[in-house]
Structure 1
Amino acid sequence: MAGLQKAIGIKKMPWFFLLPNLLAVILFSLLPVFVNIFYSFTGSDRLYPSQRPFIGTYNYETLLDCGNYLDPSTCSRDLFWRALGNSLVFVPTQVAAMIGIALLTAICLNGNIRGRGFFRGVFFFPVMLSPVVVALTWQWILQRTGVLNGILTNLGFEPVNWLVYANSAFFWSVFVTVWAHMGFYTIILLAGLQAIPRDVYEAAKMDSASHWRAFTRITLPLLKPVLLVVFILAVIRSVQTFDELYVLTGGGPGSATLLMVQYIYEIGFAVQPRNFGLAAAASLLLGIVLLIFTLVQLRISRGSSNG
């Protein structure tokens, strides 16, 4: 290292250590983005860029071609708009449930309860499981001859086709994804709760403040930066949901649980002929929406903190 430092100079040494990571980021992150942008402006089902003709903004025009944007059946790519509509319902519902349950769990785990370390491990355990394993497990539980219907039958109820009807399939899609990922956000919120000084709560207790008042006036304001991070991460993860639902429901029944990432996968890889250009255009539109959303959230957070 002394010889290398003498050869390139001490100011360039940090770049020597950063170079492997920079190459990995460029090769596996930045380069695919630029290739995806290129594919979105090309047509044909050919894979190699040299074999794909330039068609301009045709793929974007096809996706956005609708007689009535509130009626997917009037759109040239109705499944794209059905997936978008499902995502607009799925993401707020799942994120609200995720953060609410994770916050409640973190508050409970932050208290002085017996077996606290054990329960922390229990709630985090699903995060370590493969999404496919999670989906297969819950599919086994929810199928007509599954565990849940077995319990209902023993209690005298009729078995239910949980994943056959649109409303129940959508509910279980939200439930399974919350169950699978809640532990990750619980740990983040738990760390935020433990960073709040105990003296503040003791002072509130001396002033005879109720638990609810301490929660709304102390916990939530001091936990706001952590909640913002959790919110952004949860939204991005929710929009990118694919594995669990693809195995659990396959986007069905019909297109009731079809989300954006599954639509992009199917149009680009599952159907014939494969439309790489349309899939690339849809993924870029999704990425742009996520980027704008994240920037708006950060701007709101920065404005509120400055105020």
Structure 2
Amino acid sequence: MTPSRSTPVADRAPARPAPAGAGAPVGRPSFWTTRRRDRLTGYLFIAPQLAGTVLFVLIPLGLVFWYSLHEWNVLADEFTFTGGENYAKLAADPNLPGVLRATGLFSAGLVVLNLALALFLAVLLNQKLRGTTFFRVLFFSPVVVSLVAWTIVWQFMLQDNGGVNGLLATVGVDGPNWLRSDGTAMISVIVVQVFKNVGLNMVLFLAALQGVPQELYEAARVDGASRWRTFWRITMPLISPTVLLTSIITVVGSLQVFAQIAILTQGGPGTSTTVLVYYLYQQAFQFHAFGYGSTLSVLLFAIVLALTVVQWQLRKRWVHHEN
């Protein structure tokens, strides 16, 4: 007889037992996935900065707006809701046009002179010349000097019998009282502030200039381009992001000037150097009109926000890689 080809039951391999939980629904994934752990790590890193922004920026902004709707008499301990009366007072304030004019004049003069001088110095110090390190330190050193100390020194220098007029007298020039004349007080404040902060923008421009590829300059020289054309066609487009950064920083800083005005001119002569921040200080802390001072703060915030947004939107027209 031919043996059967079927495998005997006894010789068959035993079936493997089914794994535990086979046929049961798959369990839910772990809550702490890699993605969620990375997100939590990122939130923990930004938590200190976020807390500082909330505590020292957002909450004070909300409180300033809330105070602008009230009249707060600290001496009488009265806090009265007035609605929009402070804003109506703002619209009818006869001093406000002059204050805004002085603020605009100071900001325009500071921004133009600061950026132009900083870029000029950065271009000069970017050359391979002897002594450039010394001049970099020389122009940047006022940035780290105390603002109050710097301003007090300039106050003595700009007095009628100060150091500036003493130098002019050596060449036969009778200098004016710089801080007490209508025609020179604002110019003096602008110059003092320009010399104080020009080094910061100079360093930013210098870093941007050193990042421009030298191959582009070599190609321009081969094509016969002049230095002026090379500057406007190669240098300025490539450093335009830095120009945007410095312009925003300088504009915002110019609208927040206070210590220089308070020390040098106290807003005078008359109100020719009374900028918005100093006028705000006078209303709130000299005349104790904290509600109206808060309203002026809201106006200042609106101006700074509007100018920043305008600059940010205009970047698409002239900033490299933004159009």
Q: In the alignment, does 2:152 pair up with 1:136? A: yes
Residue 123 of structure 2 is matched in structure 1 by 107
RMSD of aligned residue pairs (Cα, Å): 2.1
Residue 84 of structure 2 is matched in structure 1 by 57
Summarize the alignment of residues 1-307 of structure 1 with structure 2, pairs less than 5 Å apart.
10=37, 11-46=39-74, 51-65=78-92, 77-271=93-287, 274-302=288-316, 304=318, 305-307=321-323
Deviation at 1:110, TM superposition (A): 0.6
Contact 1:193 1:219 (8 Å CA) reproduced: yes
SS, match of residue 43 in structure 1: strand
Deviation at 1:242, TM superposition (A): 1.1
Deviations 1:117-170 (A, max 9, x none): 111111111111122111111111111221122223333333521111111111
Q: Could you tell me which amino acid in structure 2 is paired with residue 32 of structure 1?
A: P
For 1:116 and 1:54, locate their aligned partners in 2 and report how far apart those are by CA, in whole Å.
60
For 1:218 and 1:303, locate their aligned partners in 2 and report how far apart those are by CA, in whole Å.
16
Q: Could you tell me which amino acid in structure 1 is paired with residue 301 of structure 2?
A: G
Q: Which has the larger radius of gyration?
A: 2
Q: Could you tell me which amino acid in structure 2 is paired with residue 208 of structure 1?
A: G
Q: Could you tell me which amino acid in structure 1 is paired with residue 300 of structure 2?
A: L
Structure 1 residues 159 and 292 mapped into 2: Cα distance closer, same or farther (>3 Å)? closer
Q: Could you tell me which amino acid in structure 2 is paired with residue 279 of structure 1?
A: G
Percent identity (aligned): 34
For 1:159 and 1:94, locate their aligned partners in 2 and report how far apart those are by CA, in whole Å.
23
Structure 2: give runs of 5+ residues left out of the alignment: 1-31
Residue 16 of structure 2 is matched in structure 1 by none
For 1:190 and 1:131, locate their aligned partners in 2 and report how far apart those are by CA, in whole Å.
24
Contact 1:79 1:263 (8 Å CA) reproduced: no
TM-score (norm 2): 0.83
Deviation at 1:294, TM superposition (A): 1.0
Structure 1: give runs of 5+ residues left out of the alignment: 66-76
Deviations 1:33-63 (A, max 9, x none): 1111110111132389x95221111111111
Q: Could you tell me which amino acid in structure 2 is paired with residue 52 of structure 1?
A: F
TM-score (norm 1): 0.88
Contact 1:94 1:174 (8 Å CA) reproduced: yes
Deviation at 1:80, TM superposition (A): 2.6
Deviations 1:159-215 (A, max 9, x none): 521111111111111111111111111111111111110110011111121111111
Contact 1:164 1:253 (8 Å CA) reproduced: yes
Deviation at 1:303, TM superposition (A): 5.1
For 1:13 and 1:47, locate their aligned partners in 2 and report how far apart those are by CA, in whole Å.
49
For 2:48 and 2:232, locate their aligned partners in 1 and report how far apart those are by CA, in whole Å.
47
